[in-house]
């Protein structure tokens, strides 16, 4: 199978690097950098540090203007949901970024390409590299708005669904619990099916590679159903 090129990645992200060294570094995990006898590229960790700060500034400004009456605590909570590890990893995978990560043999064998922690770090490193290469916050802002914040409301609902559902049932003085309906797949690649029950009645189901992700999907389905009934 022919691997995708960096030029194809640039097409997908909508930005072409003047200095491709920065792009290569953003895609290089420390395990790969440490295995190379010729240290051609540095790993992404410093770029990740920078990208995290740039992303926080852009997302903070977005939320500040989008929700003029929202208090600081709620703004911070919403920002944390939008730029959390699973959310950034999902955005990165939609762009196929994980296909380009350079991993050492051990990290590759350990499933590093599928780990949200690594994929989300690379997403932040890419933002840092883009900022350095363009010298423009506006350029990075366009990328972030298109690929991370475009569906902010829906993603906030998804990633905060469990706490939102908890608040709903507490107001109605009801109880919520999650129940595993099924587990499938080998030990290193399990898939879980989970139901969420409100006062013993099934309100939603979800599937995921972890119980937590399956519960999140089930809660999201339940919240959507409750809101649809209220409209």
Which residues belong to the active site? 52, 124
Cα distance between residue 44 and residue 36, in whole Å: 15
What count of other Cβ atoms lies within 10 Å of the Cβ of residue 140?
24
* Nearest alpha-carbon partner for 125 in 81, 88, 96, 151: 88
DSSP result, 10-46: HHHHT---S-HHHHHHHTB-HHHHHH-SS--S--SHH
**Encoded tokens for 91:** 């955005």
Residue 145: how many CA atoms within 13 Å on its side-chain side? 11
Q: What is the token pair recorded at 125?
A: 């490193």
| Cβ within 8 Å of residue 180, ≥6 positions away | 192, 193, 194, 211, 214
- The pair of structure tokens assigned to 196 is 């969420």
């Amino acid at each position: 199978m022919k691997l995708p090129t960096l030029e194809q990645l640039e097409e997908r992200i909508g930005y072409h690097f003047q200095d491709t060294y920065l792009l290569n570094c953003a895609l290089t995990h420390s395990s790969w950098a440490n295995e190379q006898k010729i240290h051609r590229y540095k790993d992404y960790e410093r770029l990740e540090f920078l990208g995290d700060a740039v992303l926080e500034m852009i997302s903070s400004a977005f939320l500040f203007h989008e929700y003029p009456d929202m208090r600081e605590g709620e703004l911070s909570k919403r920002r944390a949901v939008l730029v959390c590890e699973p959310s950034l990893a999902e955005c990165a995978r939609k762009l196929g970024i994980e296909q380009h990560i350079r991993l050492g043999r051990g990290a590759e064998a350990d499933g590093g390409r599928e780990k949200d922690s690594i994929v989300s770090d690379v997403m932040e490193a890419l933002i840092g590299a883009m900022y350095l290469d363009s010298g423009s916050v506006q350029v990075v802002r366009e990328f972030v708005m298109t690929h991370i914040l475009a569906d902010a409301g829906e993603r906030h609902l998804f990633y905060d669904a469990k706490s939102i559902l908890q608040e709903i049932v507490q107001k109605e003085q009801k109880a919520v619990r999650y129940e595993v309906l099924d587990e499938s797949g080998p030990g290193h690649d399990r898939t879980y099916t989970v139901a969420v029950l409100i006062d013993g009645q099934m309100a939603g189901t979800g599937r995921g590679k972890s119980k937590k992700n399956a519960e999140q999907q089930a809660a999201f389905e339940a919240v959507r159903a409750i809101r649809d009934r209220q409209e």
